[in-house]
Copies of this chain bind each other. A is one copy, B any other.
Amino acid sequence: MNDQHEKLERPRVQAMDEILGKQFKVLNDGFIRVVDYMGADESIVQAARVSYGKGTKKVREDIGLIRYLLRHHHTTPFEMCEIKLHVRVPMDTWRQWIRHRTANVNEYSTRYSVAIDASQTTKSDQWRLQAKSNRQGSEGFIDKKTGAELTRKEKELQQLCRRMYEERLETGIAREQARKDLPLSTYTEAYWKTDLHNLLHFLRLRMDEHAQYEIRSYADIIGNEIVSKWCPITWHAFNDYWFNGQSYSRLETEIIKAIAANNNEKAIQLAKEFGLLKYKDGKIKSNLERNELEEKLKELEIEPPWKEVE
C-alpha cells in the first residue's frame, strides 16, 4: 500500500448524471445536451482552500465561502469546474455565441459535410417589432394576420435557398462554395466546452433581458436547467449577486445618500453638478445616465427628487 496515495474519486453530481445526454429542446429545432462535466460546488471550495491554505477549515462554511468568492470577484476557483455541451443552434445565434472567446469549440463543418437540413422557423405570433426605446432590441409582436403572411414567405424563402444549395451540390460545386447563400437561420451543431467562471459570465450577458430572444432561450436552459443542478450553491449566489444585483456609480451613491438624508435640494444640486440634470425652456432634458438612475430609484421605490418641469 502506498501511504501517500490519498484515494480520490472524481466528484459526481447525481442530478447531473441523470441529465447527461438528455436533449433540452430550444426554439423550433435546436437543443442543448450535457456531454460531460468536471467538478462541483465542492471543487470550488477545494481550490479556494488551496489558496487560503490552513487558514480556513470548517466544512459547514462552504456556502459562506462560495458566496464570499463570488461577491468579491475571486473568480479563479470557479474556473476549476468545466462543462462540455453539445448544442444545435441557428447560425445567426451562433454568431453571437462564438464571440465568447474563452471556450473550446468544435463546430460541424459544412466544408466537409452537407449542411444540416433545418432552419429556424417563426410562428405567426412570434414576429417581434422593433423596439422604440432601444435601438437594438424588440418589443411586442406583430398582428397574427401579418405574421402569418411573413411566416408563409419565410418558409418559401428557406425552401428556395435549400433547393439552390442542393442544385449546386448536384451540379458538382464544392460544398465550401455551395453553402455561400444558405440563410443565417440554418442550424449548425457544436461541442462547446468552458469553465464555470466563463459560463457565468456568458449567462450574465445572455440571460439579460436585453439579450436577443434566441440566445436568451439557450442561456435560460443552461442556467435554470443545468447550472442550477450542477453547482446549486454557486447558482444561488450568482443570482443574488451578479444577475439580480445592482451597481451604483460614485455619482449615484452620492445622490442616493442625499435623498436618504431627506436632503432633496442637495440631491438635485448634485445631479446638476454631475451633468445628469439639465432644463431647457423649463423642461427637463433627456439624459441616459439619469434615466438609468431613475430606474434604479424605482427599484428602491424611491421617488426622484427632481421634476419634469422646473
Contacts and interface: CB of A to CB of B under 8 A. Distances in A.
Interface of A: 2, 4-11, 17, 20-23, 25, 31, 33-39, 43, 46-48, 50-55, 64, 67-68, 71, 73, 76-77, 79-80, 82, 84, 86, 90-92, 95, 98-99, 101-102, 104-109, 111-114, 119-120, 122, 127-131, 135-138, 142, 146, 150, 153-154, 157-158, 160-161, 164, 167-169, 171-177, 179-185, 189-191, 193, 195, 205, 212-213, 239-241, 244-253, 256-257, 259-261, 288-289, 292, 299-302
A68 to B, nearest CB: 6
A28 B94 CA distance: 26
Contacts of A241: 247, 249-250
A245 B248 contact: yes
Contacts of A172: 129-130, 142
B173 A130 contact: yes
B138 A52 contact: no
Contact of A253 (B37, B107, B300): B300
Given A92-B180, A95-B91, A240 B246 contact: no
Nearest to A287: B64
Identical copies of this chain, number:
4
5 contacts: A52-B135, A64-B289, A127-B171, A245-B249, A245-B250
Contacts of A37: 10, 38
Contact of A179 (B25, B184, B250): B184
B288 A108 contact: no
B11 A36 contact: yes
B185 A180 contact: yes
Given A95-B91, A138-B177, A240 B250 contact: yes
